[in-house]
Amino acid sequence: MAMDRRVFLVLLLAGCADTSPQGPLTVISPAPPPPAPSPPPPTMPAPTPQTPVPAGELAFDTWMQDFRGRALAAGLSPDLLNRELSGVIPDPRVISLDTRQPEFSKPVGDYIRGVSSEDRVTVGRNKREQLAFLLEIEARYGVPRDILLAVWAMESAFGQLQGNFDVVRSMVSLAADGRRRAWAEGELIAALKLIDSGEVTRAQLKGSWAGAMGQTQFIPTSFRATAVDFDGDGRRDIWGSDADALASAANLLTRGGWKRNVGWAKEVILPPGFDYSVTEGPREVPAWWEARGVRRADGLPWTAQDAASPAMLILPAGAAGPAFLALPNHFAIRTYNNSTSYALGIGLLADRFAGGAAPITPWPVETPLSMSDRMAAQIALARVGFNPGPADGVIGAGTRRALRAWQQSQQLPSDGYLSNDMVARLKAQAGISP
């Protein structure tokens, strides 16, 4: 049964919106004339109550009207906007999922173990040998087939799970919510331009809750800029063509800075007493790190290309977990999804496809942090003078940078890792109740 539009939007937005009535003034009915001068006139009837327009609906309608102006300025026609946006309302599932992305909320060890399941590794190794066009794509773009297979596996289970969300509605939902408004509006405009061009239909624009489409999950702007027709049928079909989807991924990574014949990262072992504050800091060639006692975990030498490449130290699970020197191609992977965990997942899965093993240092066993704990830690960091950025529960680079500075001030290992212990210490110092 379709939900009434006003009720839907109250449920979605009333929690953060101004709920004061904003409807028209109530008209008071006139009093009847008195029958005679002596008796008092009857009491004037009370105003008839009227249902106010829900504040959430007002907020959405205001955003939509403002967005239409920006869309028109971007070159979209009124007819297109009327046709594609008429009746569109936010999807509450999208708003909920936006705060629960596993790359930012799940313990990294659990995330990597899920990424590199034995079943997935087996399928990837089989496809590595079966799909001849992979070598052609690798030769043209310089991106190894194992990296492309890892992207394919993680983004859509090798094309099997492409998502069934209406991309236009997803972008409307994220834009109206406001957390990533500018980005979502840009993607919405790009999706509408794709429809307007005739290259794809609205029905074809299906994808994930975040608007990522096809076998390699391209957002609309990436599709317009980097999708390619590799199989030569005259269409850029990332939904139905394996070759188009993987070549498009290779093109995106190349444009994102992928360097031919350079690695993505290597696991390293840190010496006792290491200064963890340099984590996610300087980008220096491996010899610079070796001079500070950092050694490759596998004991192998660096290739000439890797030895000449700047590398950043990352500690995705803190000082207790594996350490990596991230080479330039790690950051090229992050043009796909700007998450350290995601880039690690792609790289480590690619290594497994090529016959490599899991990291030598085991991932620590961790208890997942709740959204409230992650937000409380960010609020606490700000209160004690270390600005992490918005208290949104996403533990990104800004939060880790602030956490390292705070850890250093407390003479703790400044690895930037938010554990349950760090949350408790922060809340205690900032006066936030457990």
CATH code at 371-430: 1.10.101
> According to the model, what pLDDT value does residue 106 have?
77
With a pLDDT cut of 70, the percent of the chain lying above it is 85
> According to the model, what pLDDT value does residue 94 have?
93
Tell whether the model's pLDDT for residue 357 goes beyond 50. Answer: yes
Q: Are 268 and 255 a contacting pair, CB within 8 Å?
A: no
Tell whether the model's pLDDT for residue 214 goes beyond 50. Answer: yes
Tell whether the model's pLDDT for residue 49 goes beyond 70. Answer: no
Which tokens go with 412? Answer: 């703790």
> According to the model, what pLDDT value does residue 197 have?
96
**Buried b vs exposed e over 358-381: b needs ≥16 C-beta within 10 Å?**
ebebebbebeebeeebbbbbbbbb
Which tokens go with 269? Answer: 């072992």
Q: Are 370 and 106 a contacting pair, CB within 8 Å?
A: no
The rounded distance, in Å, linking the Cα atoms of 121 and 116 is 6
The rounded distance, in Å, linking the Cα atoms of 374 and 145 is 37
Q: Decide which of 45 and 167 is more confident.
A: 167
Tell whether the model's pLDDT for residue 22 goes beyond 90. Answer: no
The rounded distance, in Å, linking the Cα atoms of 316 and 111 is 11
What is the pLDDT of the chain when averaged over all its residues?
Answer: 87
H/E stretch holding 206 reads strand 206-207
Looking at the DSSP assignment, which residues form a beta bridge with residue 325? 266, 313
Nearest-5° Cα angle at 256, 250 to 260: 60
The rounded distance, in Å, linking the Cα atoms of 314 and 317 is 9
Nearest-5° Cα angle at 135, 132 to 136: 95
Tell whether the model's pLDDT for residue 32 goes beyond 60. Answer: no
The rounded distance, in Å, linking the Cα atoms of 186 and 76 is 12
Query: Which residue type, as a one-letter code, is found at position 226?
Result: T
Least confident of 25-29, 235-239, 356-360: 25-29
Which tokens go with 295? Answer: 């050694």
Q: Taking the complete model, does pTM exceed 0.85, yes or no?
A: no
H/E stretch holding 432 reads none
Cα 63 from chain centroid?
22
> According to the model, what pLDDT value does residue 379 have?
97
The rounded distance, in Å, linking the Cα atoms of 250 and 300 is 28
User: What confidence tens digit (pLDDT) does each residue in 60-107 have?
Assistant: 999 999 999 999 999 999 999 999 999 999 999 998 888 665 555 678
Q: Decide which of 98 and 176 is more confident.
A: 176
Q: Where are the domains of the chain?
A: 52-89+167-204, 265-354, 371-430
